[in-house]
Structure 1
Amino acid sequence: MNEINRNRYLPAGLAATTLVAGAWAVRDYGQWRRLGDGGLPHNAGGWLRMTAMRLRARGRFGGTSHNQEEEISPILLDLQARGGTRPKAAPHPVPNRVVDQHAPAPVKQALVSVFDDFSRSDSPPLEYRTSRWEKHHNALCLKGDAYPHAISRGASGELGHVHPSDGSMHMILSPADGRLVLDLGWGEFHPLAGVMLELPATYTLIYPPRSLAEIAPIRAILSAAVGYMTGQPATPTPTRGSSA
């Protein structure tokens, strides 16, 4: 092909590429918007920032190992495999959500009740505060500022929260507990954990409970997160009306 013919096809190729890229951007932006609020502005600017973050995303099931001498939390020693298929995580790192297997409304309500129970704990002292990462809803946090180690200090005491849109959660687990939770099918690592946004390396997406039967295992995982982040075991007695 001579130079004249080559130059003739360049504009057409550029136009086709632009159309494909534009169609992808419109579709992806719509999918991202449907995930709901997260830690970024829910507009085109937030989408552009999230798109840049994709370049830094890590694998959701690897990249974090634990010292074989580190023990799994006792409350998780009897944790059984979740069973069935994993939900599909959205390709967008922020907000980190799943696009199927959402928690039914009654199950989500029971899940929130579990977090409510822990929020009233005095030993260790816990409370709700606005999530430093999600920014739009409450997170379970250590009360006060006496953080037992660098991970809890770096997280400003935040240890877990529920996402109202789908019933999934984020929790910060010990490396051993995080690996166990992944291996048994209860969750996956946040794609930016240990990479960006000051997220701890074991910042873990816990899948939404599909039934009331899955509330008790999730309660155990949350208790392990509380124990890791506070240095104290925490198993508060469920209040009246709790379904855990």
Structure 2
Amino acid sequence: MDLNNLTTSTLDLLRQHKTAVTASATVLLLSGAVPLLSRILSDYRAWYALGPNGLPLNPFGYLFQALASPFARLDTRVPAPYDVAKVSQKYGALTLQSFLPTPLSPRPGPRPEVPTFVGPQRQTTQQATPPTRAAQEAFLHAFSAANPSRIVVRPSNLEGPLFNSLWLVDDGVPVRDEIKRLHREFAHPHGEGSTHLVLSLSDAKAAIEMGWAERHRMSGVGGLMPWGFVLIYAPRDEGEMEVWKRFVLASARYALGGEEVVMP
């Protein structure tokens, strides 16, 4: 077979039917592009519906989290997908301790739905009621007032100024490396009642095992967020509100390196 003649003949045929070839190629491209574009738009709408967060609520914010997705983890509900000895050596022996005042009982029922966006991380079912959200905000201020020399309420640096968060007072005293990386912010609730906070490896593992939490998708990735950075699900009743308060207390105790913290 003469490949040169075959190539020349093929090119001549394409030139003779240029319009038809162009139209066919366009149809093929569009047939693949339209469904892809539709999926992207649907995904963007779902992301946008989660509301304000630490990223710009526009296509640039969506694109940023989408680009981070290949590096993020999907095993957020696996209690301890890491080498405990290696990670505890990095964080220190304190991270193997529990700072919860009492052991956890299993959370009743199924977990809420949490979309797999890198950011924001929110639950779309089993959300908190307005009175519960108000109670969470009141607790943040009462908690800070009970520990004024160590804890302060400030707008979140991680989630944006619309959300209040708990910070360690910047009094010059060195803090745990995980908390330092988060600029001393250790807990912040979101508009639907879920809460990001930092727990010891022991408490984070227990919270996930008992169905109360899951990790952030960037937890443990490149040192950006500690392995104990978890999403505590929104309280659904007064009993779960008390459990939520225990998580906040445990987070503060761990952030302060084991110091005693006053519960309001």
Q: Aligned runs of 1:203-214 on 2, under 5 Å?
A: 203-214=229-240
Q: Is the 8 A contact 2:97 2:200 kept in 1?
A: no
Structure 1 stretch 195-204 or stretch 109-118: which is displaced more?
195-204
C-alpha distance in structure 2 between counterparts of 1:94 and 1:119, whole Å:
27
Give the C-alpha shift of residue 114 in structure 1.
2.0
Normalised TM-score (structure 1): 0.86
Q: Residue in 2 aligned with 1:240?
A: none
Letter matched to residue 33 of structure 2:
T
Picking from 180, 183, 204, the partner of 1:153 is 180
Q: Which moved more, 1:56-65 or 1:92-101?
A: 56-65
Task: Quote how far apart the aligned CAs of 1:72 are.
Answer: 2.0
Runs of 4+ in 1 over 6 A off after TM superposition: none
Instruction: Point out the structure with max Rg over C-alpha.
Output: 2
- Secondary structure of the residue aligned to 1:75 is coil
Shift in CA distance, 46/196, structure 1 to aligned 2, threshold 3 Å = farther
Structure 2 counterpart of 1:242: none
1:217 and 1:60 map into 2 onto residues whose CA distance is: 21
What are the superposed Cα offsets for residues 45-78 of structure 1, whole Å, 9 maximum, x if unpaired?
11111111111110212334645982322514x2
Selected match of 1:96 from 118, 121, 133: 121
The structural deviation recorded for 1:176 is: 0.7
Local SS of the residue matching 2:116: coil
Distance in 1 separating the partners of 2:44 and 2:66: 10
Moved more, 50-59 or 109-118: 109-118
What residue is the counterpart of 2:17 in the other structure? none
Q: Deviations over 1:179-201 (max 9, x none)?
A: 00000111100011122682222
Pairwise CA distance, 1:203: 1.0
In structure 2, the residue matched to 1:120 is 145
Greater share of helix residues, 1 or 2?
A: 2
With normalisation by structure 2, the TM-score equals: 0.80
Matched residues, number? 232
Unaligned runs of 5+ in 1: 238-244
Specify every segment of 5 or more residues in structure 2 that has no aligned partner in the other structure, as ranges: 1-9, 15-20
RMSD of aligned Cα (Å): 2.3
54-63 vs 32-41, greater mean Cα deviation: 54-63
Residue 52 of structure 1 is matched in structure 2 by 67
Letter in 2 for 1:87: P
Structure 1 residues 124 and 200, CA, compared in 2 at 3 Å: closer, same or farther? farther
1:53–1:93 contact (8 Å) kept in structure 2: yes
